[in-house]
Chain A
Amino acid sequence: MHSRTMKRLTAGMLLVTMTLAACGSDDGGDAATPSSAASTSAAPATDAPATTGGSETTTAGGDDTTAPAGDACAPEDVVLIGQVRDETNPYEKSWLDGGDEFAASVGLEQKRLTYGDDSTKEQDQIKQELSSGNTSCYVLNILPNTEGDTKPIADAAKEAGAFLVTQWNKPADLAVEDYDRWASHISYDGVESGKLIAETMFHAMGGEGGIVALQGGLATTAAKDRFAGLQEALAANPGIELLDEQTANWSQAEALTVLQTLITKHGDKIKGVWTANDGMALGAMEALDAAGMSDVAVVGIDAVPEAVTAVADGRMTATVSSDGPWQGGVGLAIGYCAAIGEIDIASLTADNRAFYANQTLITADNAADFATPSVDLTEFDCANVFNRVSGPLG
């Protein structure tokens, strides 16, 4: 986080007078993933994994003849590496924790790497790891810092012959299929996130009333997708009126201020507040609290711990989780299965090479289950790693 701050400060120093115009793009850099997100469990008790897009036929069996036995790695030779931005982010920490659990389940250890929002550092770390010894049994589960970082990472892995799984950031024109050891790219559909929470909120409102929307940094894809999801939900619910849409730049503090003003503007007409991330939802709740408006429904995205608590307490209506521990585990699992020959990458369907994964809606009903992050190890069995596929990237 330091380097981003430094960059922001430096740029800002030069453009001091442009601050207000400029701050819209500041938080955009990491907004393709939740800005500070969830510690969640994989909801082991439920049969949660929806299987909408998952296909049994795509997983390759152990004795698959298309995987030459000579190329397969011995399970004990596999080296597992997980890389995220920053462990101080609870969501990213839970991701690495999930990776540890998977590694332990197959008798290995995960190497935990963090690069602190620094693309250069991320690339260097990967090159460093892949520069030594026999890298053909290396498995990388990577969160690329930006879309621009994904191709160099894929190229580096290809050159080293290492198995790669990436998540969240990938340019649309970069095809996973062009790489023989880049097993999968996993992402989440922002449109679906936005829609899920909107529908839940509308339901809580009884299907009618006015709402306001607090968007993220306007320049980011995540903000646009999530808002598009809200609009889809609005189209299906004519009883709901969108009174106002403003941006609060993913910021908790800004959300408080903006909503405070929106309350002056619209008063009691506001029955629901849709926000593009949980930070803004928390800010919005404070504004509502200060105005004495306790019966307004608030929803957010990312499932940050405090939002999950608020949902459990009934102060907040819903949030959505991408399930960090699962992401950390399943990325390594896919690569591990490919390395030991359980999965043949070349024969995977397009839906399994680059896909949206299911998201978990957190409401008062299941919030308690998300209080402590945990994983269901059976989901990491080579036969189950693609169970959460919800559809192809698009």
Chain B
Amino acid sequence: MSIDARPAMRSTGVGTSPRRLGIFARRRTANASAVRARATAGERVLKWGPLAALALLCMFFAWRAERFATVDNLKNVLDQSAVLSIATVGITFVLLLGAIDLSMEGIMSACVMVGALLVMNSRNANDWGLFAVIPVVLVGAAFGLANGLITTRLKVPSFMTTVGMSAVGLGVAQLLFDGDQPRVLDRPLRAWAIGRVFGFTRATLVAVVCIAIGVVIQRHTRLGRYATAIGSAEDIVALSGVNVRRYKALAFALAGAFYSIAAVLLFLKQGTGNDELAVNVNFAAITAAVVGGTLLSGGQGGVLQSIVGVLIVKVLENGLLLLDVQPALQRAVQGVIVVGAVVAATWPLRHRLRVVK
């Protein structure tokens, strides 16, 4: 309806002063300039802390590990971060909701097997080439959508839904695996993961594109903005007439789609389809997201924060390996640093989080 359609009485009575306000009749207009001042120190730490931590880590390793600060090694780190980055972009949307997704390994395993069996491989006569990406992404998105629908429609906590879905995905992967790894024979296709452009692997570039897409979705689309809003105040969003369940389900589906892209890179990189390739990716992704400032409580952080987390995790892995730290000790050091980073990142918010269970 246009504003013109309304009755003309709009203009009457302008200037009516507050009547009978008695003791309340003092004015204090909302001061716009005061608004900015309220970004607390805590919020700033959450925003910039992880990036500062990453910079410190890099500086430390550059100082202590002689090969760390070489162009080749840094390109390697980026290459090694590619798969995890894309998967983490996906899970970020679920974490923004305040939900959790533990189905990443299952979905990625299923996608790895579907993809590896559709491209030119040692098991069958398929040769879909790049077109194999389409069904793989559909499989990933379908798994994610199933997560979302079960969580929202049947009101099952996402924790349970996704654990179950992970088992389904792994089951599908094992059925397809059937004891025989398909080797990927399509060399040109594999170049999408291991080929190099300006010295960077193409996987790195694919990851950068995925991250960019993730950022755009998070910042400029309904899905992304609503996911953040739902994560910080679901009931309010629902009261505003938003179909919360739909956007939740879509966020899970989007996550599944990102996992599937990660899965494609994974099997192209490895050159085989194996149902165990994606083991441990789920934790690494959640860890990275949280370290980067995308908290499990929802509504906080975002794609770029999560990616900073991925880089922290991967730089740490790489640096410790180069430092000649004992393998057993590396794990412990990684654990300590990750816990430390999370504590530091959430410290300023501890009042808001109130109770940690």
Interface residues of A (CB under 8 A from B): 1-2, 5-6, 9-10, 12-13, 16-24, 26-27, 35-36, 39, 86-90, 93, 215, 218, 244-247, 249, 251-254, 256-258, 260-262, 264-265, 279, 282-283, 286, 289-290, 304-306, 309
Residues of chain A within 8 A (CB-CB) of B335 are 17-22
Known: A17-B287, A19-B338, A253-B279. A5 touches B166 (CB 8 A): yes
In terms of DSSP, what is the predominant structure of the interface of chain A?
Answer: helix
Docked-complex contact A9 and B279, CB < 8 angstroms: no
Known: A264-B70, A265-B67, A290-B194. A23 touches B283 (CB 8 A): yes
Known: A253-B278, A261-B318, A261-B321. A17 touches B327 (CB 8 A): no
B245 smallest CB distance to A (angstroms): 23
Question: Contact flags (1/0) for B321-357 with A, using CB distance below 8 Å?
Answer: 1101001100110111011001000000000000000
**Which parts of B273-328 form the interface with A (CB within 8 Å)?**
274-280, 282-284, 286-287, 290-291, 296, 313, 316-318, 321-322, 324, 327-328
- Distance of A219 Cα from B318 Cα, bound (Å): 22
Known: A9-B102, A18-B335, A19-B338. A260 touches B272 (CB 8 A): no
Task: Identify B272's interface contact among A17, A87, A215, A306, CB under 8 A.
Answer: A306
A/B interface sample: 18 pairs, CB < 8 A: A5-B167, A5-B170, A9-B166, A12-B102, A13-B102, A16-B296, A17-B335, A18-B338, A20-B317, A21-B334, A21-B335, A21-B338, A26-B279, A36-B276, A247-B327, A252-B272, A286-B269, A305-B180
Interface residues of B (CB under 8 A from A): 67, 70, 72-73, 76, 79-80, 100, 102, 105-106, 122, 159, 163, 166-167, 170-171, 174-175, 177-181, 183, 194, 201, 266, 269-272, 274-280, 282-284, 286-287, 290-291, 296, 313, 316-318, 321-322, 324, 327-328, 331-332, 334-336, 338-339, 342
Residues of chain B within 8 A (CB-CB) of A12 are 102, 282-283
B287 smallest CB distance to A (angstroms): 5
Residues of chain A within 8 A (CB-CB) of B291 are 17
B254 smallest CB distance to A (angstroms): 21
In the complex, which of the residues B102, B327, B334 has the most CB atoms of chain A within 10 Å of its own CB atom? Answer: B327
Closest 4 CB pairs of A and B: A21-B335, A90-B179, A19-B283, A20-B334
- Distance of A243 Cα from B174 Cα, bound (Å): 37
Task: Identify B321's interface contact among A17, A251, A252, A258, CB under 8 A.
Answer: A258
Using A22-B283, A252-B270, A252-B272 as known contacts, list a sample of 8 further A-B pairs with CB atoms less than 8 Å apart, ordered by residue number in A: A2-B171, A5-B106, A6-B167, A16-B283, A16-B296, A20-B335, A279-B276, A305-B181
Residues of chain B within 8 A (CB-CB) of A39 are 179
B317 smallest CB distance to A (angstroms): 8
A147 smallest CB distance to B (angstroms): 22
Docked-complex contact B271 and A286, CB < 8 angstroms: yes
- Distance of A254 Cα from B194 Cα, bound (Å): 16
B298 smallest CB distance to A (angstroms): 14
Residues of chain B within 8 A (CB-CB) of A283 are 270
- Distance of A261 Cα from B70 Cα, bound (Å): 12
Task: Identify A21's interface contact among B276, B279, B331, CB under 8 A.
Answer: B331
- Distance of A93 Cα from B334 Cα, bound (Å): 38
B349 smallest CB distance to A (angstroms): 15
Known: A1-B174, A26-B280. A17 touches B338 (CB 8 A): yes
Residues of chain A within 8 A (CB-CB) of B159 are 13
In the complex, which of the residues A20, A215, A305 has the most CB atoms of chain B within 10 Å of its own CB atom? Answer: A20
Residues of chain B within 8 A (CB-CB) of A16 are 283, 286-287, 290, 296
Residues of chain B within 8 A (CB-CB) of A24 are 328, 331
Residues of chain A within 8 A (CB-CB) of B266 are 253
In the complex, which of the residues A245, A249, A290 has the most CB atoms of chain B within 10 Å of its own CB atom? Answer: A290
Docked-complex contact B277 and A252, CB < 8 angstroms: yes
Residues of chain B within 8 A (CB-CB) of A309 are 122, 183
Task: Identify A2's interface contact among B100, B122, B170, B178, CB under 8 A.
Answer: B170
Who on chain A is nearest to B274 by CB? A252
- Distance of A260 Cα from B204 Cα, bound (Å): 15
B128 smallest CB distance to A (angstroms): 21
Residues of chain B within 8 A (CB-CB) of A35 are 276
Docked-complex contact B270 and A256, CB < 8 angstroms: yes
Docked-complex contact A260 and B322, CB < 8 angstroms: no
- Distance of A137 Cα from B40 Cα, bound (Å): 77
Docked-complex contact A251 and B163, CB < 8 angstroms: no
Docked-complex contact B270 and A257, CB < 8 angstroms: no
Docked-complex contact B67 and A264, CB < 8 angstroms: yes
- Distance of A12 Cα from B284 Cα, bound (Å): 10
Residues of chain A within 8 A (CB-CB) of B284 are 19-20
Task: Identify A261's interface contact among B178, B322, B332, B334, CB under 8 A.
Answer: B322
Residues of chain B within 8 A (CB-CB) of A251 are 276, 279-280
Residues of chain B within 8 A (CB-CB) of A17 are 287, 290-291, 335, 338-339, 342
A230 smallest CB distance to B (angstroms): 14
- Distance of A259 Cα from B62 Cα, bound (Å): 20
Known: A1-B174, A26-B280. A264 touches B287 (CB 8 A): no
- Distance of A247 Cα from B331 Cα, bound (Å): 10
B163 smallest CB distance to A (angstroms): 5
A284 smallest CB distance to B (angstroms): 11
In the complex, which of the residues A19, A23, A279 has the most CB atoms of chain B within 10 Å of its own CB atom? Answer: A19
